[in-house]
Structure formats: structure tokens, C-alpha cells
Structure 1
Amino acid sequence: MGRGKVELKRIENPSSRQVTFSKRRNGLMKKAFELSILCDAEIALLIFSPSGKAYQYSSHEMDRTIARYKNEMGLPQSHNHGLRPIEVWRAEMEDLRRTLESLEAKQKHIAGEDLSLLGMKELKQLERQMRTGVERIRSKKRRIISEHINDLKKKHRVLQEENTHLQRKLNELDTHVEVPEYLNPTTFVHFKGT
């Protein structure tokens, strides 16, 4: 079932507006990351929230990308390379802290902890992720076992061939062994008792 068309206008409810901002910001940053990886593109993304918080993503050094942009557009270059306002650093640290907390929470959920915090939608998504993970693990396990069985079969064939070869050599030795004259049964003389 597809989503309905969203009317593009300012969201009046502040909490809904904040939730939408957060979700769309994360989605935009994810798309920027994917584009930089898939296409080897140099990307710099700056987002300022309504409250003035700065969020950024950069596939390379942000200052370098901005300098490159200014150069391409013919804008004057600023010479304060490496100097970033404290607010930007704080925003980046806060963003990294939130990302870390989110990843830790996901790790706990995967381990089966803190599930009471999740709704039905999140639980179903987690279940799908777990099912996919289990299938990947099973597939990898089957592949490793199959490779191990093939290796054992090869070793078994080599050992059988070696055994057959040694058996032939033993048979050849048995047929070519000369029996000394004194052990040859045809040379024995039977004496009759007197």
C-alpha cells in the first residue's frame, strides 16, 4: 500500500514539525552518505534547524569542499581554514552523541534487551532484520560446511588413490619375491623311516 500525496506546507503542530524535521534530516543525510559512497561524489550538506542548531554531513573535509565550491562559483576565498565556530563543533558532538546512543539502542534491541520501548512497527522491523540476518548466517554456514565436505571428499579420494597404489606395489612385491632354494617345497626330499 503506497503513501498518499503529502501537501507541502508548513506543519502547524510544533511536535509534529520537529518529528518530521528529525526524520527528514536523517533521511537526507543518509541519502547524501549513500550518494557519496555509490558514486564517489564529494558531498557537503549543511542543515540548520528552526532553533538554529547546525547539522552537517561531509564525505570529505567540509572546509575543503566549501573552498572548492567557492572556487567553482568565483566567490572570494576566506583565509580562516581550520577555524570552525564552537557552535558547529558542539552541534557535531551532539549529533555524534545521538548517533552513538541510537546505535547502542539498536544493538540492545538486536540482543533482545529494552524491547518494551518499541512499538509494533519497530518490533516487526526488528523481526524482519533478525530474519534476514539469520538467513545470511545460515547461508554462510551452509557454504562453509559444503566447502568443508568437498575438501574432505577430495582428501578421501587422494587417500583412496594412494591406498590403491600402495596395494598394487605390495602385490607386485609379492609376485616378484624369489624363494630361496632351501625353502622351495619341490626340493625337499622325503625320507622314509627305517
Structure 2
Amino acid sequence: MTRRKIQIKKIDSITVRQVTFSKRRKGLFKKAQELSTLCDAEIALLVFSSTGKLFDYASSSMQQVIERYDQHSAIQKLGQSSVDLQLEGDENQLSKVVAKRTRELRRLNGEELQECALEELQELEERLQRGLSRVSKTKDERIVKQINARRRKGIQLMEQNQRMEQRLAQEQGQSSESIIICSSSDNPPQDSDSSDTSLKLGLSLFK
């Protein structure tokens, strides 16, 4: 007979529920004892029934396991707190850096200059002049590159035009030669002997 699969849900019958609780609790404690023995694990179990009755199991001492758990929880909380503090400090530092960079950018755009001292304004002017010179240098380099590229493109186009003109000239020369040959073949030269023979035959008939 095969075992039926029990649906995991609350048992409605109080009697059946108590019997099932007693059986499952004993099985749970037995499995905990086996796990502790086989794996040398320190285990503590606390179980409260639906009526509020306490059942416990400890592989060594319940008090020692609870104290060890409290210490471990405190260490975890302390570590998490230190991580949170570090993240909070990094966030504050990052916020300060962002605020500083934003203020510098606004000043470079000519904003919020009223609070700047004379030395800060002079330094800002020097930075702008250096940046402007770099921008002008980069712009000039780009313009020179574009001019050289267009010159090379113009030379390539001129060379292509010359090659096309030479090809057209060769094709026109070949077509004129073919026309001369065709005209000479259509009008062959007459033989002088044949004309003389026709004249002689005409004279003999008149005689």
C-alpha cells in the first residue's frame, strides 16, 4: 500500500492536531539529535504548542547556545552598523565632491562670482584662458585636417578627369579610323584597262 501525500495545511480536528504535533515534535527532536551527533553541530530547539506549552532540546546546554547566538547576533549588528557608517561617510564625501564640482562649473560659466575673492577670480581667468587656447588649438588642427583631406580629394578628382579625357580621346581616334576604312572599301578604284576596252568596242561597232 502506497503512502498518501498529506496536504500541508492546518488540521481542523483538535485531537488529530495534538496527536500530529506530538509525533512530529518527537521526530524533529530525533533529527536534531542525529544532526548534532553526525556533524558535531551545536543545536538548540524551542517549540511552543498551540496551547502555549514549551518543549525544548539542546545538544549541550540551552543557556550556552542562547548566549552564543546573542553574541553572534551582536557581532553581525556591529558589523552591519560599521558598514552603514562607512557607506554614510562615503556618501557624504561624494556629496561634498559633487557640490564642489558643481560650484566650479557654475563659476566657469560666469555664475556665482560675487562670493569669489580677487585671487580666485584671477585663477579662474587663467583656467579659462588655458582652456580657450586648448580649444583654439584643437579647432585649428581639425580645420587643417579638413583642408588637407579636401585637397587630396581634389587631386584624386583631377586625376580621374584626366584619365577619362585620355580614354575618350582614344575611343574617338579609333572610331575615326574605322570610318575611313569603311569609306575606302565602299568605293573601289576603277581599272583603266577596262575603260579602254569599252571604248575600243564602241568604235568597232560604228565601223
TM-score between both structures, scaled by the size of structure 1 = 0.48
Which has more radius of gyration?
A: 2
Structure with the larger helix share: 2
